Amino acid sequence: MRLLDGVRVIALDFRGHGLSEHADSYGYADYESDLTWLIDRLELDDVTVAGHSLGGYVALLAATRTKRIGRVLAIDVKSDWTEEDAAFAERSRDAAQRVEPERESLLGRLAKSVLPTELDQDELELLAERSIEAGEGGWRFRWDRRALATEPVDPFAFLGRVRCDVQVIAGAESQVMPPRSARHFAEAIPGATVEIVEGASHHVELDAPELVAERILG
């Protein structure tokens, strides 16, 4: 990771995501347990955790339960729960990935999933390495669709208990964490700061990678 030269970088794929194995349970407590287990297993102290979306939610939850986390960058984290979200979660409860005959069709869907962010071919292939696998008769997304059957998000139930340094970062054009939501979110965390990134949408780490790297480095 060229933008983070000189620091130790550990990239965690949550259960059911990326190259990690699928699981029977995808609760926030499960993800939080996976993160704290990794930190304990590697004996990391005063660690900086940068988490995007679900990753930011889980990092903050973990920060209420371990003193090993010294700082959290919470990047464009969802903080509300709608009837539409609940319906989508219910539809995903027993869902499975379908096999496509052509890998290109999955690449197209992968590129569409991060819109309005646009990836060049090298960036798309890098993402595909952790997202697409060969299956019987074709290709499929590797992540477990059942992971989308999430619990309702309720960050305000625990944000007040976060005691490490926190920087909330949100895209000015984000539909997941609009600026007003980002400011409200940060106000709920003692001592947290907030930064709104102009020209960025939900995937701030893709729209403004240099800025995010600078914030990670502190």
Percent of the chain with pLDDT over 90: 96
The SS3 call for residue 145 is helix
**Confidence check: pLDDT of 54 > 90:** yes
Please report the pLDDT score of residue 190 as a whole number.
Answer: 98
pLDDT of residue 1: 55
Token digits for 41? 């297993």
Question: Using CA atoms, how far apart are residues 116 and 132, in angstroms rounded to an integer?
Answer: 21
Mean pLDDT of 196-213: 97
Confidence band for 153, pLDDT divided at 50, 70 and 90:
very high
Place 2 in a pLDDT band, splitting at 50, 70 and 90.
confident
The pairing of strands 165-171 and 138-141 is unpaired
Query: Looking at residue 3, what is its pLDDT?
Result: 87
**Strand 132-135 vs strand 193-197: parallel, antiparallel, or unpaired?**
unpaired
* Amino acid, res. 6: G
- What the block records as the tokens of 12 is 């965690």
Taking the domains of the chain in order of start, what are their residue ranges?
Answer: 2-85+146-217, 98-142
Q: Stretch 190-195: mean pLDDT, rounded?
A: 98
Lowest mean pLDDT among 2-6, 34-38, 121-125, 165-169: 2-6
Which SS3 state, helix, strand or coil, does residue 179 take? helix
Q: Quick one: CA torsion of 19, 21, 22, 27, rounded to 10 degrees? A: -90
> Which runs of consecutive H residues, i.e. helices, occur in 10-154?
28-41, 54-63, 83-91, 103-113, 121-129
**Is the pLDDT score of 87 beyond 70?**
yes
CATH, domain range 2-85+146-217:
3.40.50.1820
Q: How far apart are CA 81 and CA 31, in angstroms?
A: 19
pTM: 0.94
Average pLDDT of the residues in 203-218: 96
Kindly state the tokens that stand for 208. 């403004």
